[in-house]
Amino acid sequence: MIELRDVRKNFDNLEVLKGISITINDGEIYGIIGQSGAGKSTLLRCINGLESYQSGTITVDGTIVSQKDKNTLRRLQRNMGMIFQNFNLLERLDVYDNVALPMKFWGINVSSPESVRRIEELIRLVGLEDKKHARPSELSGGQKQRVAIARALVLDPQIILCDEATSALDPAITREILSLLQEINEKMGKTIIVVTHQMEVVKQICQRVSFLRDGTVLAEGKPEDLFIHPIKEVKEFLQEESGLLPTKGTNIQLFFTDKSSDPVITMMARELDLDFSICWGKLEDFRSNVYGSLVINVKDEDTQKVCEYLDREKVNWEVLK
């Protein structure tokens, strides 16, 4: 488990992290999202000890992350694999040797049968058997990131940190990399922390997410809860508009996160014997589950009974002003 309690970080007089408190469970894929400058990457670097922090505590499995204790920090860092936005591969090394690099850094014999087996298994896991001796200049962006993922796993860390790992990739390759990370999480039980500004990343693989703005956590929860029924700041971040809505009657937005397959709208029209207009709607894919929201317009005199019906059916809703 990774626990952050009131973590604060300054760069000179600039306060970058302003009392961050989150808990990341073992085996979880956890997302940290926000605009550039929100403090996401700084927070990630504090977790793995690459950056110090002024106050608060960060603990990994009960051990405090601190640059003051170099030996303990070194042991913690060995248990954390890092995947970067720009891949950070050495051009003079081929795929095999790039994957083996952390072993060499930690003084592990890369020629031992166990090491060779580990490296080749990971190259096979990321689907690059035929590129084992290729140099980075011969690889596509997606292939380079697959090498970086294998390299991050070679020491068998329990925690994988991803800093904008897909932002340099096109949408199709991004989906492939995310599927690979999801497979690693499910089959190997790795805890994965994903820092990103890409909504599709969070929707596809994250089980929980924190939304950062100006160094503070404004919202935390399941991605579907944050994005389908967003707070004002998240809505601004998504730059989401529901379009022009009728000026007469009452506009009600319905949010479907747990009962998206139930025919609530048709059942309501039939049971209440009323007419209404559907003004706007969307469906989105969250980890293979389809959730969404819908805006309907009802007559003012029907508003109360519609709201009472939605409450009975346990549908989340709000009246749009």
**pLDDT mean over 16-39:** 94
Is 146 a residue whose pLDDT tops 90? yes
CATH 3.30.70.260 in the chain, residues?
A: 250-320
pLDDT the model gives residue 285: 75
The answer, yes or no, to whether residue 260 has pLDDT greater than 90, is no
Q: Where in 26-157 does DSSP place strands (E)?
A: 29-33, 55-60, 63-64, 80-83
Q: What is the fold, at CATH topology level, of the domain defined by 2-235? A: Rossmann fold (3.40.50)
Read off the pLDDT band of 240 (50, 70, 90).
low
CA torsion 272-273-278-279 (nearest 10°) is -80
Q: Is the pLDDT of residue 3 over 70?
A: yes
Give me the mean pLDDT over the 186-196 stretch: 94
Q: What is the pTM of this model?
A: 0.83
As a whole number, the mean pLDDT across the chain is 90
When pLDDT is averaged across residues 280-295 and rounded to a whole number, the result is: 78
Q: What is the mean pLDDT of residues 264-283?
A: 87
Structure tokens at 302: 């029907």
pLDDT at 314 over 90: no
| pLDDT band for position 280 (cuts 50, 70, 90) | confident
What Rg do the C-alpha atoms of the chain give, in angstroms? 23
- Report the top-level CATH class of 250-320: alpha beta
pLDDT at 241: 55
Q: Where in the chain is the domain with CATH 3.40.50.300?
A: 2-235
pLDDT at 22 over 70: yes
Banded pLDDT at 284 (limits 50, 70, 90):
confident
Q: What mean pLDDT comes out for the span 268-272?
A: 91
For residues 50 and 38, what is the distance between their CA atoms, to the nearest angstrom?
A: 18
| Predicted local distance difference test score (pLDDT) of residue 44 | 95
